[in-house]
Amino acid sequence: MSEEDNIIKELQINNEIRDKEVRLIGQEGQQLGIVSAYEAQRIADDEGLDLVKISPNANPPVCKIMDYSKYKYEQNKKEKEMKRNQKTIEVKEVWLSMTIDIGDLNTKAKIASKFIADGNKVKATIRMRGRQQAYAQQGVEVMKKFAEILRDVAKIEKQPTTEGRNISMVLVPLN
């Protein structure tokens, strides 16, 4: 449940409004002044619409005459539109090796550049095997070379670090 749904559920409508006086706003947004809640409800009923308390903390509370079901529908539509336009950033992983050849490194870089072009982060990882752990600096050099190939499309967010048997680095799009 989103924050907007909570706001919609918290709004008081029609007979739920128990205040003595309310500041009333008409359907087109015009100020109708301060009236009793009973009078405001009567005006809303005459127009065939709902009385909705839109600002309960004001003094006196602000109520608006509107079609509440249409308002809820519009709010839900806006929320869905915002979710649709929201871009989720994923972290894609590319595995390298300490003894990788330059051709293979370029191929991996091409794959990583596609991920970056899609707006995702790229985590480059090297798993060290056996005696390679004694030469971790070579793995860091491979990582730097990989980042250098991608310098036109990506920058380093997290520098190459050794974590146990792995060396990892995170690259992000430039823009």
pLDDT above 90 (res 106) = yes
Enter the pTM of the model. Answer: 0.52
| Closest-CA residue to 88 (of 124, 118, 123) | 118
Q: 169 pLDDT band (50/70/90 cuts)?
A: very high
> What pLDDT is attached to residue 19?
82
Q: Read off the tokens for 72.
A: 């809820």
Q: Which of 126, 117, 173, 127 is nearest to 146 (CA)?
A: 126
Average pLDDT (135-144) is: 90
Which amino acid, one-letter code, is at 11? L
Question: Which residues, 6+ apart, have CB-to-CB distance to 57 below 8 Å?
Answer: none
| pLDDT, mean of residues 65-80 | 88
pLDDT at 1 over 70: no
Output the six-digit token pair for 79: 């929320």
Query: Residue 10: pLDDT above 80?
Result: no
CATH architecture observed for domain 91-173:
2-Layer Sandwich (3.30)
CATH of 3-85, one of 3.40.47.10, 3.40.190.10, 3.20.10.10, 3.10.20.80: 3.10.20.80
| DSSP three-state, residue 28 | coil
Residue 8 has pLDDT above 60, yes or no: no
Q: For the chain, which residues make up each domain, given as ranges?
A: 3-85, 91-173
Residue 21 and residue 28 in contact, taking contact as beta carbons nearer than 8 Å: no
Q: Find the mean pLDDT for residues 64-93.
A: 86
Closest CA to 115 of 159, 86, 156, 150: 150
Residue type, 32: L
Beta strands in 48-165 (DSSP E): 50-55, 62-66, 91-96, 121-127, 154-163
User: Do the domains at 3-85 and 91-173 have one common CATH topology?
Assistant: no
